[in-house]
Chain A
Amino acid sequence: MEHIQRQPDRVARSRSRLLDGLQRWLPKLVVAPTFVLVGVGIYAFMIWTGVLSFTSSSFLPVYEFIGFDQYAKLMANDRWLTASVNLGIFGGLFILSCLVISVLLAIFLDQKIRQEGAIRTIYLYPMALSMIVTGTVWKWVLNPSLGLEKLMHDWGWASFSFDWLVSSDMAIYTIVMAAVWQASGFVMALFLAGLRGVDSSIIRAARVDGASLPLIYGKIILPSLRPVFFSALMVLAHIAIKSFDLVMAMTAGGPGYSTDLPAVFMYTHTFTRGQMGLGSASAMLMLGAILALLVPYLYSELREKRHD
C-alpha cells in the first residue's frame, strides 16, 4: 500500500480509510498480547535464568558474576551426576519401551479387531491422568509390604519378593514402569493413526509381489512411518526430560537421591535448598539437552517441507 489515495471524495471516504487503516493493523494488534506474554514469559525469562546461572545467587537473586563457577560446581556435584545418569537410564528405557510396546499394540490393533474403539479407549485413558495420580497408584501397587508382593504371596508364590521401590539401585526402574504405563497408549494412538494413513495400494502391490505379512510390516509399512517415529520420539523425549511430577509422587527423589532427575534436582536446589545459581545452571543444561534434540529435528522437518 505504498500509494497514497488520490481520491477527492468526501468525508465518508476518509472515515472508511481510517477503518481500513485499522483493519491493516488488526492482525498485529490481535497477536500482540501473546507476543508480549511469550516474549517475556519464555524468552526474557530464559535469558534471565541464563544470567542467574552465572551469578552466585543463593536464597535470593544477586548479580555478582562468577563466570562458569556454577557449571563447574554442577559437574562436580554427585547428585547432579546421579540425576544425569538417571535421566539416561530413565529416558532411554522409557522411550525404547514405549516405542516397542506402542508399535506392537498399534500393529495388532490394526488387524480389523472387534471392539477396537473400546480397547483403544482403555489403552489411552492413563494419558488423561495426572502424573501425581499415576505416581500415587503405582506407589501403592509396588508397596513392598502390602502391594504386589503380598498379592503374590496370597496367590501362593511364597518366595516372591519385590522391593524395587525402596531399593536405591532399582527404584528408578519403577518410575520407568509407571511412566511407560501412562504414555504408551498415547504413542500407540499416534502409530495407529500413522498405520491408517499408509497408502493401501502399496500394500496390495507388495502382496501381489508375494511378500509375507511380517515382511510387509518390516520393510514397507514401518519405514514409511518414519515421521511418526520422529514425532513420538520428540514427545517422549520431551516428557522424559521434563518429568518431575512422577518422581515427586513416587519417591520424591529417594531413597536418598537415587531417583533424582535433573528436573527434581533443579527444583530442590532452587526452591528448597537456596542454591539459585546452581539451580539455574542445571536448568540451562536441561535447555541445552532439549536444544540438542530439537535442532536436528526441526532441521529435518524443514528440509522435508522444502522437498514437497
Chain B
Amino acid sequence: MTDVVRTGIRPSRVAIYGVLLLAALVYLIPLFIMLVTSFKTPMDIRTGNLMALPTDWTIIGWTKAWSEACTGVDCGGIRGYFWNSFKMTVPAVLISTLLGAFNGYVLSKWKFKGSNLFFGMLLFGCFVPFQVVLLPMAATLGQLGLANTTTGLVLVHVIYGVAFTTLFFRNYYVAIPDALIKAARLDGAGFFTIFFRILLPMSTPIFMVSLIWQFTQIWNDFLFGVVFASGDSQPITVALNNLVNTSTGVKEYNVDMAAAMIAALPTLVVYIVAGKYFIRGLTAGSVKG
C-alpha cells in the first residue's frame, strides 16, 4: 500500500493534511466543549459562548455533579451510581471473559457433535436486538428476586456479552495450529493442562480485546440499566440521563458536562491506556469476516 504514496505532489499533500486535521478538530471539539463548559460558572455559560475558555476556572460543576446534583427525586450527586457501575462492570467483565475463553477453547479445539450449531447459536445471539428479550428477562429477574439489583445486572450483562467474548476467543484460538494441541496430548496433557499451560500464556492479546470491549460495552450500557434497575441500583449512564433530563429548576450545564465527563472517564482512560491492543485485535477479527 505504502508504495502508492510517493506519487503525491506538494499541493495534494497539503490538501490531505488539511482534511485530516479538520476532521480531527471535528472529533475533538465536542470533548473540548464538554471540558471547558464543566469548568465554567453558570454565569459564564450564559454570557460567553461554547468555544470560549472559562473566564474564571471553577470545579464547582464537578463537585456538584459528584455529590449534590439531582437525578430525578434523589439529590446526592452521581457518586453512588458511579460505584454502582463499577460493582456491576467488574464482575460482569471478568465472568463473561472467562466464560468466553473456555467456550472459545472448546469450540475451536475440542469440537463435538453439535458444537458448530452451538457456535451458530452464539453468533446469531450477537445480532439479536435486545428489545426482543427485555420483557421476559424483566419477568425472570423478578421471579429470581434479582430485579433492581446489581447482581441481576451482572447476570444480564454476562448472558448478552458471552456471545461476543466467545466469538473473540474462538476466532483467536482457531488460528492456533491444532498440531500444538495434539503434541500436548501426546505429551500427556489433559483438557485443563493444555488450556492453562499452552493456550493461556499465548492469549494476552485477545484477553485485552475481550476485557476492553466488555468494559466499554457494560460501562456504557443504558438499555439494561434503565429497564432492569431502579433507584439505588442504577448505573451511571441512567443517572446521567436522569440528571440531564430532569426538568426541575434551572439548567446547570456545567454540572451536566462534569457529570458526562465523570461518566466518560473510566472508558476514556481504558481507551487511551490500552486502546491500541483493542483496535489491533478487533480490526484483525472484523476484517477477516
Contacts and interface: CB of A to CB of B under 8 A. Distances in A.
Q: Is there direct touching of A and B in the complex, by C-beta distance under 8 Å?
A: yes
Contacts of B139: 61
Contacts, number: 296
Chain A's interface: helix, strand, loop or mixed, by majority? helix
Interface stretch (B12-20, B53-61, B69-77, B201-209): B12-20
Contacts of B216: 127-128
A35 B106 contact: no
Interface string A11-51: 00000000000010011101101110111111111101100
Interface string B82-112: 0000000000000000010011011100101
Contacts of B51: 151
A203 B3 contact: yes
A279 B134 CA distance: 10
B200 interface: no
B1 A110 contact: yes
A235 to B, nearest CB: 8
A51 B271 CA distance: 42
B28 A31 contact: no
A297 B241 CA distance: 35
A154 B159 contact: no
A21 to B, nearest CB: 12
A282 B132 CA distance: 9
Nearest to B283: A193
Interface in A109-136: 109-113, 117, 119-136
Interface residues of A, number: 112
Contacts of A135: 241
B121 A141 contact: no
A284 interface: yes
Contact of A35 (B118, B137, B257, B279): B118
Interface in B217-239: 219-223, 226-227, 237
Chain B's interface: helix, strand, loop or mixed, by majority? helix
Given A136-B260, A213-B7, A227-B289, 19 more contacts: A27-B106, A31-B103, A38-B163, A42-B159, A43-B121, A49-B135, A120-B279, A132-B240, A136-B240, A141-B50, A146-B46, A148-B50, A192-B283, A238-B127, A249-B245, A252-B245, A267-B226, A280-B135, A290-B129
7 contacts: A31-B115, A112-B5, A131-B222, A136-B260, A203-B4, A242-B131, A263-B223
Interface of A: 23, 26-28, 30-31, 33-35, 37-46, 48-49, 52, 61, 101, 104-105, 108-113, 117, 119-141, 143, 146-148, 150-151, 154-155, 181, 185, 189-190, 192-198, 200, 203-204, 207, 213, 216, 227-228, 230-231, 234-235, 238, 241-242, 244-245, 248-249, 252, 262-263, 266-267, 270-271, 276, 279-280, 282-284, 286-287, 290, 294, 301
**Smallest CB-CB A-B distances: 4 pairs:** A130-B220, A27-B110, A193-B283, A128-B271
